[in-house]
Amino acid sequence: MPPAEVRAADAGRRTRSGAPASGGQRPLAAGVRALVRRWRSSMQVRVVASALALGVIVVAVLGVYLSYSVRDGLFEQRVDQIEAENVALVEEAQSRFSASTATTIGEQQSLLGDVILGLSAAGSSAQDYFLRQAPGQGLPLVDPSSRQDLSVDDLVSDELREATLATDGHVMQSVLIPAEYSGTGQAEPGLVFGATVELASAGVFELYALYSLASQEETLRFVQRTLAVGAVVILAMIGLLTWTVTRQTVVPVRRAATAAARLGEGHLDVRVPGSKGQDEMATLARTFNEMAASLEDQIARMEELSASQRRFVSDVSHELRTPLTTVRMAGEVIYGARDDLEPAARRSAELLQNQLDRFEDLLTDLLEISRFDAGAAVLDVEHRDVRDVVTAVVDTAGPLAERKDVFLSVDMPGEAVRADIDPRRVERILRNLVVNAIEHAEGKPVEVTVGADDEAVAVVVRDHGVGLTPDELNRVFDRFWRADPARARTTGGTGLGLAISLEDARLHAGTLQVWGVRGQGASFRLTLPRRAGIRLTGSPLPIEGPSRQHGRHVPTGQIPVVNPVTGPTPTAIPDLPPAEEDAR
């Protein structure tokens, strides 16, 4: 193989393997993906494309039908004309043969030539004529034709000769006239008609007439070109008309969709233009604008009511501070002298002191909630080791764990776990979680686990107590909600602890998540970014739980038992957005 051919073959193999062609395939794939996205995202494109596709099918079917109909009509018309001419030619040739008195070979040969010349001068549309002796005559005659450069054998097949000799009528056969014999210099279609004539002194002769169909072919091509141009024009009109009609429908709908999206983003003053008129699109615009105006009015009233409620809670909380201080001072005096009181009075003094402590905690929590509602809560950020905060919380909760006979364990990394946090708020979150876990542990262990990666730090508080049902999971962060209102509490909670913890976590741009199964305990996971501006995409620790359905129950045998720090990650729920709920 020559070197050039070798290189060509190698190039072909490389192209088939895909290596060199990958550079060209990538833009092609990107273009296909762009078209698919455009097809999916635009109803107007789909409608126009569908209309054009249907138009192409209809025009193609109609064009093929018309083309075949015109072709068949031209052919049949030409055949009828040729048959009539050929009958007259054969009759004329036969009349000359019948009137001839030629008996010698010379006279007969001259007669044949005269007949061919006479046929050529008869004004027929035939292009050429041929005479040929029938087989078995045995006369030394030369077969004459109107053109010496075109032999009868070039056009007349053996099948046509056999059919001509076998019948007394006319026989027709389609042929392709070679380019060198045609009048246009190109191969063109034609017809050969055959019939037999008889000369008494020489026997039977075959008479063939060649007719060209070039004019009919040109007419057919002209009709096909006209149909093609008409099809292009029709398709362009279909596309333009469909585009115009769909645009009149899609543009208002697109405006309404854009306005709805902006309305969903909080732009309540957005309106859809084009609301004048009486058609369906104008009615849609007016209805949308009326809905948006009504929604804006209702939200404004709700915001005003919410602001009034927040002001009320804040004002009441502040106003209760003064009488609470007076009552506390009197209560402390009574509580300090309780040893001198009767047993019933002494018990009343202790109850009064406990309820005053709870009342003060409730006021503090209400003030904190009002700050969150008003958007006035701010972070006092410090770059601190989270382990120190966890240690302080565990030390504070230690006495309660001893009273409840709960084993409280802590698992923390050996190196520092530093993050930008507000220590007071994080400590409050963890204190609420740990105290809740101890309260609901029913004497079973409570585990606190700390973990971190490059972006986040997480603390998981796990108990093995009463657990939570799916319905309780959905309400665990609600304000003033308790899983079991009849359960005795030793810490006098206000019912706002987990709600405040959730707001504290959000204030840090973190998450607070919960998992639980009734009878198997519950687990809370606090995840905080290590630096301001980091967007959390995961958590360093798994939240203990067998389900991805936010704590939905599965059979106990499917719950994995692993160390959440050093062992494999259990089948737990994924990193979810913070629950918008409750307090246990």
DSSP assignments along 234-265, one per residue? HHHHHHHHHHHHHHHHHHHHHHHHHHHHHHHT
What is the rounded average pLDDT for all residues in the chain? 77
Which amino acid makes up residue 171?
V
Query: What's the confidence (pLDDT) of residue 544?
Result: 73
Q: Where exactly are the structural domains of the chain?
A: 1-32, 92-219, 268-377, 382-558
Q: What is the CATH number of domain 268-377?
A: 1.10.287.130
Query: What's the confidence (pLDDT) of residue 545?
Result: 43
Which amino acid makes up residue 252?
P
Q: Which residues lie closer than 8 Å to 100 by C-beta, 6 or more apart?
A: 107, 111, 199, 201
Q: Helix (H, G, I), strand (E, B), or coil: what is residue 300? A: helix
Task: Looking at the structure, give the CATH architecture of the domain made up of residues 382-558.
Answer: 2-Layer Sandwich (3.30)
Mean local confidence (pLDDT), 59-70: 90
Position 515 pLDDT exceeds 50: yes
Mean local confidence (pLDDT), 185-212: 85
Highest mean pLDDT, choosing among 129-133, 248-252, 381-385: 381-385
Q: Which residues lie closer than 8 Å to 82 by C-beta, 6 or more apart?
A: 125, 126, 172, 191, 193, 209, 211
Q: Helix (H, G, I), strand (E, B), or coil: what is residue 564? A: coil
Question: Greater confidence, 345 or 496?
Answer: 345
Q: Which residues lie closer than 8 Å to 21 by C-beta, 6 or more apart?
A: 14, 15
φ/ψ (deg, to 5) at 173:
-145, 135
Position 507 pLDDT exceeds 80: yes
144-153, 235-244, 333-342, range with the lowest pLDDT: 144-153
Query: What's the confidence (pLDDT) of residue 94?
Result: 86
Query: What's the confidence (pLDDT) of residue 12?
Result: 41
Query: What's the confidence (pLDDT) of residue 152?
Result: 67
Mean local confidence (pLDDT), 272-279: 74
Q: From CA 578, how far away is CA 514, in angstroms rounded?
A: 9
Q: How confident is the model at residue 25 (pLDDT cuts 50, 70, 90)?
A: low
Q: How far is CA 135 from the centre of its chain?
A: 77
Question: Greater confidence, 567 or 352?
Answer: 352
Question: Greater confidence, 561 or 374?
Answer: 374
- Pairing type for strands 408-411 and 446-452 reads parallel
Position 493 pLDDT exceeds 70: no
Query: What's the confidence (pLDDT) of residue 388?
Result: 92
* CATH match for 92-219 among 3.30.450.20, 3.40.50.2300, 3.90.1150.10, 3.30.479.30: 3.30.450.20
pTM of the model: 0.46
Highest mean pLDDT, choosing among 30-34, 64-68, 479-483: 64-68
Position 525 pLDDT exceeds 90: yes
Q: How confident is the model at residue 578 (pLDDT cuts 50, 70, 90)?
A: very low
Kindly report the three-state secondary structure assignment for every residue of 162-204.
HHHHHCCCCEEEEEEECCCCCCCCCCEEEEEEEEEEEECCCEE
For residue 95, count CB atoms less than 10 angstroms from its CB and return exposed for 0-12, middle for 13-18, buried for 19 or more.
exposed
Mean local confidence (pLDDT), 289-305: 84
Query: What's the confidence (pLDDT) of residue 111?
Result: 84
Enter the tokens of residue 91: 């009759």
Q: Helix (H, G, I), strand (E, B), or coil: what is residue 145? A: strand
For 270: left if phi > 0, alpha if psi spans -120 to 50, otherwise beta; the answer is beta
Q: How confident is the model at residue 258 (pLDDT cuts 50, 70, 90)?
A: confident
Mean local confidence (pLDDT), 274-288: 77
Residue 517's alpha-carbon distances to 27, 111, 469, 494, 574, in angstroms, are 52, 119, 6, 24, 16
Q: From CA 242, how far away is CA 240, in angstroms rounded?
A: 6
Question: Greater confidence, 23 or 300?
Answer: 300
Query: What's the confidence (pLDDT) of residue 156?
Result: 82
Position 500 pLDDT exceeds 60: yes
Q: From CA 168, how far away is CA 151, in angstroms rounded?
A: 24
Q: Helix (H, G, I), strand (E, B), or coil: what is residue 131? A: strand
Q: Measuring CA to CA, which residue among 475, 389, 397, 481 is closest to residue 435? A: 397
| Helix/strand number for the chain, H first, E second | 13, 11
What are the b/e assignments for 449-460, b being 16+ CB within 10 Å?
A: bbbbeebbbbbb
Percentage of the chain exceeding pLDDT 90: 9
Q: Helix (H, G, I), strand (E, B), or coil: what is residue 411? A: strand
Question: Greater confidence, 515 or 584?
Answer: 515
Query: What's the confidence (pLDDT) of residue 485?
Result: 52
Enter the tokens of residue 442: 């029913």
Mean local confidence (pLDDT), 4-20: 40
Q: How far is CA 48 from the centre of its chain?
A: 19
Position 391 pLDDT exceeds 70: yes
Query: Any bridge partners for residue 182, and if so which?
Result: none
Percentage of the chain exceeding pLDDT 70: 79
Highest mean pLDDT, choosing among 209-213, 276-280, 401-405, 503-507: 401-405
Q: Helix (H, G, I), strand (E, B), or coil: what is residue 524? A: strand
Query: What's the confidence (pLDDT) of residue 48?
Result: 86
* Chain segment 146-170, per-residue pLDDT in tens: 766 666 677 788 888 888 888 888 8
310-319, 394-403, 550-559, range with the lowest pLDDT: 550-559
Position 190 pLDDT exceeds 70: yes
Q: Measuring CA to CA, which residue among 531, 532, 512 is closest to residue 522? A: 512
Q: Which residues lie closer than 8 Å to 356 by C-beta, 6 or more apart?
A: 324, 327, 328, 331
Q: How far is CA 94 from the centre of its chain?
A: 80
Query: What's the confidence (pLDDT) of residue 61?
Result: 92
Query: What's the confidence (pLDDT) of residue 158?
Result: 82
Residue linked to tokens 């209760």 = 320
Q: Helix (H, G, I), strand (E, B), or coil: what is residue 542? A: coil
Position 110 pLDDT exceeds 90: no
Using alpha carbons only, give the angle 107, 164, 218 rounded to the nearest 5 degrees.
100
